[in-house]
Amino acid sequence: MILGNLFPLKIGNFRPLLTAEKSSWTYLEFLESITRYELAKREAKSLEKRMKWARFPFVKSLDEFELNGQNVLTASQLTQLRELSWLEQQYNLIILGPPGIGKTYIAIGLGLEAVSRGFNVYFATMGELVQLLKTEEYLNKSKVQLKRIRNADLVIIDDLMYMAMDQREANLFFHLINHLYERSSIILTSNKSPEEWGHLIGDQGITTAILDRLLHRVEVIHGGENEESHRMKNRKSIFLAEV
């Protein structure tokens, strides 16, 4: 009777009082059950919010990623990436290669792993990101989305440098990268190598400043026939040397 006065007979589909009476729980066992349920409910709500804010275009786990027939990642590299130590150390990932090799799939898969582990993630194509940056001054929606980007633990930018930027767009993009530098991790996918980005940004000074921040702590993953540049060879790597 006292328990019934203190707690509702039903919480969602969970009937704590009925279960307690049937199982002859002590007061302590009953309170522990209520606490566990409440914590699980809060985590489920938090996960739902993080998934909503991440804005993934599709949801597909890396468990479904077909390792056979692709040359982007080895099984051991994929396993290491899924551990997310690179995210905890604020490393960036750049996934390069032609269309169709699974760059976006891998990026979203890692984003899903991060969300499930409690990290805040934001996904945007380069086109969407540039549009947000250009309209932040006068669109409240853009302000809200960019605030989430700047506060995210992991920002995924898909199809980087798929089109040329003008001077204003390049400056806005630089300031965003500068803000995220050593605050967040970034995953970039692109079919253009960093050596080609300067032609699309148009300003070599801005390009160098962006690259310096992106490549300071980075793992570059090559798919297809991309040749590794000198700048890439001198980066810090997260992958252990394979025997």
How many other C-beta atoms lie within 10 A of the C-beta of residue 124?
20
Q: What is the distance between the alpha carbons of residues 126 and 133, in angstroms, rounded to a whole number?
A: 11
State the pLDDT at residue 5.
Answer: 45
Mean pLDDT of 159-180: 89
110-151 residue pLDDT tens: 999 999 999 999 999 999 999 999 999 999 999 999 999 999
State the pLDDT at residue 238.
Answer: 64
State the pLDDT at residue 30.
Answer: 66
Tokens 């993080």 -> residue:
50
Instruction: Return the H-helix or E-strand segment holding 53.
Output: helix 27-54
What dotted CATH number matches 55-233? Answer: 3.40.50.300
How many other C-beta atoms lie within 10 A of the C-beta of residue 41?
13
Mean pLDDT of 192-214: 85
Q: What's CA 206's distance to the chain center, in Å?
A: 25
50-98 residue pLDDT tens: 999 999 999 998 988 887 767 788 889 999 999 999 999 999 999 998 8
| Rounded (5°) CA angle 186-144-135 | 90
Q: Are 50 and 121 in contact (CB under 8 A)?
A: yes
Q: Are 96 and 220 in contact (CB under 8 A)?
A: yes
